Structure 1
């Protein structure tokens, strides 16, 4: 089956109009942003919304701007815009690196950062980066706006803290401290480019080259995008020599609910999580100046 079930299409011109439509149609409605996740699911009839609320035409939700010590990114900002942003290259090269290896150019031209975090695909790339950078997700609903920490946003596979009548409108990131390096690497499915196992790492060192902060996130290997606290704890307070990094990376899958499918068994993903995390830590470390 490659034809979606019948649905009514509603192009919203404002956030308020989109929220009104969500309230009106309730569980029968789905939000369309870039569409590269929802449309394929609809074509396979894995999703059959009766009403499609298109927010892609809403003005003012596509931007990357600096506000004091914070970088704000509008929810409709595309991967291509992220990839080409000098501001993000300056402060968050991790995000630029990640955007550049998402799927293909057509997907990057349409896919949005807000859509990626709202979809919360465990094998998606950008949710892991948002989590590693300890971002904040600003959402808006009938009761107004609220801000949710990335650590509290992703609840499970395709499950978030977003209420059915809320929309992601912005993501916010604190500027990193000095002597911070970051990297994203993945073992990709060659057909879909989704992560079989991926890792986003952010490291901060002090003047003595001791790790004072570590953020290590695993994608693709488990039932949700999640932080590897065992690896983080094994890095913080240490000087990151080869032995320390290897030992820390060996704990990459300690807390994960590993998945097994045609792309890799649980044991394979466990081994690859250790390999990918070790490589990503080393890459992040090399980028600290």
Structure 2
């Protein structure tokens, strides 16, 4: 199928894009990389009267350090994150997760803002954002609003983004030099959306006792999910086999996946428990090795 007829608009500034959204918001869709939106248009699951292509809004294309976070403009492409020395240094969890996104062709076109706006709970970036307790900056003609992942992601492929709003920036907290991280997922083939995924950031003392933990999972709930109960449970303890078994059970109790053509709810529940265990083992090995992140 082909998309329904639409009017194509191509603003060259944030102000112009927001003005167009203010005028046509209910009848418009914002196009950035198009890797999520174009298939939706082709299947006529969405039939906007206006398509607002923000691809020329260069002020939305940046990666920079700002205070305690890494600020990434909505138009930054996945390939730019993949090759960014700043991302590798300040947020290695993001650098590791981005390798799981789609194929090379998709990463060459797909944008950070587009992935976040799409709101798919199986996507990698929402899971990383949730684990790190990042923020989403949305803008309209009335001003800007900073939202947490819990405020932004409402349910499966539904966000709090209003018709007159667009994502302007995504903020990923800078990771401590004493921390280590791990991102793991299982998909039918590399590049597919995950059947389940897990993102972990850990800090330990010299004995291997966990002093800080941040854990999120994706693909098993309607939104990316922070496992606060698991985080609290492992702090102050060493990651023994017994504790990891408890973590697996607690993880399974905190998710409610649905069955589909690719796997039953029981399979996904068990899978995500195993993935959290695997991510924790990798992260603690990395932090104890003393290299900060990757092996």
Alpha-carbon displacement from aligned partner over 1:194-250 (angstroms, at most 9, x marks no partner): 100111111122344322222111111222221122322222222222221231122
Contact between 1:102 and 1:108, CA under 8 Å: does it hold in 2? yes
Q: What does residue 260 of structure 1 align with? A: 259
Q: What secondary structure, in the 3-state scheme, does the structure 2 residue paired with 1:250 have?
A: helix
Native 8 Å contact 1:180 1:202 kept in 2: yes
* Matched-pair contact (CA < 8 Å) for 2:22–2:140: no
Check if 1:241 corresponds to 2:240: yes
Between 77-86 and 203-212, report the one with greater CA deviation: 203-212
Would the aligned equivalents of 2:13 and 2:59 in 1 still touch at CA under 8 Å?
Answer: no
- What's the counterpart of residue 200 of structure 2? 201
Conserved? CA contact 1:231–1:249, under 8 Å: no
Matches within 5 A, 1:211-226: 211-226=210-225
1:85 counterpart residue number: 84
Q: Hey, what's the Cα distance between the residues in 1 that align with 2:31 and 2:117? A: 11
Structure 2 Cα separation of the partners of residues 206 and 99 of structure 1: 29
- Structure 2 distance, partners of 1:37, 1:191, is 17
- Structure 2 distance, partners of 1:205, 1:176, is 14
Q: What TM-score results when the alignment is normalised by the length of structure 1?
A: 0.94
> Which residue number corresponds to residue 293 of structure 2?
none
CA contact (8 A) 2:70 2:174 kept: yes
4+ residue segments displaced more than 6 Å: none
2-structure distance, mates of 1:181, 1:169 = 29
- Written as runs of structure 1 = structure 2, the 5 A alignment for 1:154-233 is 154-190=153-189, 193-233=192-232
Q: For the residues of structure 2 that align with 1:207 and 1:73, how far apart are their CA atoms?
A: 34
Q: RMSD over aligned Cα, in angstroms? A: 1.6
C-alpha distance in 2 between matches for 1:106 and 1:98: 17
Q: Is there any run of 5+ residues in structure 1 with no aligned partner, and where?
A: none
Equivalent residues in 2 for 1:1-289, closer than 5 Å: 2-190=1-189, 193-288=192-287, 289=290
Q: Distance in 2 between matches of 1:113 and 1:130?
A: 11
**TM-score, normalized by length of structure 2?**
0.93
Change (3 A) 1:171 1:191: closer
Q: Is the 8 A contact 1:134 1:151 kept in 2?
A: no
8 Å contact kept, 1:179–1:206: no
**Deviation, structure 1 residue 192:** 5.5
Secondary structure, in 3 states, of the residue corresponding to 2:151?
helix
Q: Deviations over 1:15-41 (max 9, x none)?
A: 111111111112111111111001001
Counterpart contact for 1:124–1:219, Cα < 8 Å: yes
SS state at 1:170 partner = strand
Between the two proteins, the alignment pairs up a number of residues equal to 288
